[in-house]
Amino acid sequence: MPVQSLVAFAEVRESVNIDHLKRHYFTSHPKLNTYSVIPVGGEAWWEQPHDRERFSSSA
């Protein structure tokens, strides 16, 4: 299930801390990211509505 579909559920959205996930992802493997560089990021794309309807067939 795509992230955008998951965060559409209030229970999921309220329990997920994206900053924590990102920090852990970029700092948990020091051999891969020696200086623990964490990208600033951009727009919260996961909060945007999904457009899965474009894939549904109208046949």
The pLDDT value given to residue 34? 93
N residues, the chain: 59
Could you give the C-alpha distances from 2 to 6, 23, 33, 45, 51, in angstroms and in order?
7, 21, 27, 12, 11
- Mean pLDDT of all residues in the chain? 85
Check whether 43 has a pLDDT greater than 70: yes
pTM across the whole model: 0.63
Handedness of CA 49, 53, 54, 55 (dihedral sign): positive
Contacts of 21 (CB under 8 A, 6+ apart): none
The pLDDT value given to residue 56? 76
> Mean per-residue pLDDT for 33-49?
87
Tokens 């549904």 locate to 56
